[in-house]
Structure 1
Amino acid sequence: MDGRPLVNDEFWGDLIDKSSGRNSQFKERDQLLLGLACLAGFREIELTLCTIDLFIAPNGELNELIVMPESIAYDNCERPIPLAHPDLQNLFQTYIKWLLNNGLNTHPGESYLGLNPNAQLFVDDSYKPYTVQKRGNDTLSPNSLNKHLDSLIKRASLWDCGIRRKSFVRTFIINGYRAGMSTSDLIVISGLGHDTIEKTLTMDYEQYSPIAEWFVKRREQKVKHLESMKKRRRFML
């Protein structure tokens, strides 16, 4: 199914480890992009337009909870987003070092860890901020980042397996629910409606894995039984 959520080790083992490659000069950027999308439910427009001051306090501390402003939020709906996930914090720290080492989005002084608080967090392959295109009714479309995220999925060999950009937020919802978030929490944090949340939770294929394992083991036992019967028949003959 196109747009299915990530399962098993597809996030860390495929997207994170394989999408950029060990020698990619943009590995740190790509890993944080994927981390915010899958571990925090960020949408493409939010990843494109979010600024550094949303994540880093003036004293240099990383924020563990942010409020996505209405001006850039999905569906123009302000919402809180927790960022305390240890793996996400590590991805942030690695990307910040990458920005500083490359002299990107910096400003004089030590506030905000030496980064320009008003600069967009992510840069494209030209080391410039990702751009958006205007559509009808002044709607902004993050086409540039959309294409890049699609390329990361394909590079990880997950496109033909049904993974799409919408898989990221679905993965976030399912993992959030597993971690103990209520559907009400997920509605507030993701900006999605109740029906969408409920439908997404039915896509949690891993919850059915014990059933699948039972059938696999049953089939293996049946094969072993047949092989055993064949051997017995040979002996009897």
Structure 2
Amino acid sequence: MLELKDVHTYYGNIHALKGISLTVNDGEIVTLIGSNGAGKSTTLRTIQGLNKPRTGSVVLDGIELHKLPAHEVATLGVAQSPEGRMIFPRMTVMENLEMGAYARKDITSFKDDLEHVLTLFPRLRERITQKGGTLSGGEQQMLAMGRALMAKPKILLLDEPSMGLAPLLVELIFDIIKKLNEDGTTILLVEQNALMALSIAHRGYVLQTGEIVLADDAKKLMKNEEVQKTYLGVE
């Protein structure tokens, strides 16, 4: 479904992505793991069209995303729940969810999709008229994910969904990610909690300073000695 081929992305003179190549197949959860500054968020931003690759290609279902502005990429079925949630704090929960559907061409199933999101995240139903900025961190993460789902994406990009959450909420968020995938959503997951990410993913890529240094089946990566030492805290 999605293919990045030899992607080089820069911030000014800083070479952030140094020839990234990866694929995400229809129906998969693929995870990107790596330390801070490895290039994980830049990879998602490049797919979304927020950072343009200087060379290389980003292709979704045969369409060259790297040639399109970000707002057009959004209409083609790429939705992101960004790092730090980035919800609209002065808008209500309902208004945030409506914004998620803004770029959709098909709005006939809006009510069904809204009901699906509120069933996935019952806390949002309880807070539907509340301002986004008054929600707890966990609720804001649910809202960011729900807003992305309202775009009815072909592929959902999740950037650090567990960041700053209590352990119980982390488990809840990962259970929901797994359920979304079981329901047919294709997911590219960036996550610092490598153990949780690899436990639900089909495949994984390990990034170091803008380069992919390992790529394998997620279960095999969990058993990889280098991954265990560096990312899973195994001595």
* TM norm. shorter chain > 0.5: no
TM-score of the superposed pair, with normalisation by structure 1: 0.29
Q: Larger Rg: 1 or 2? A: 1
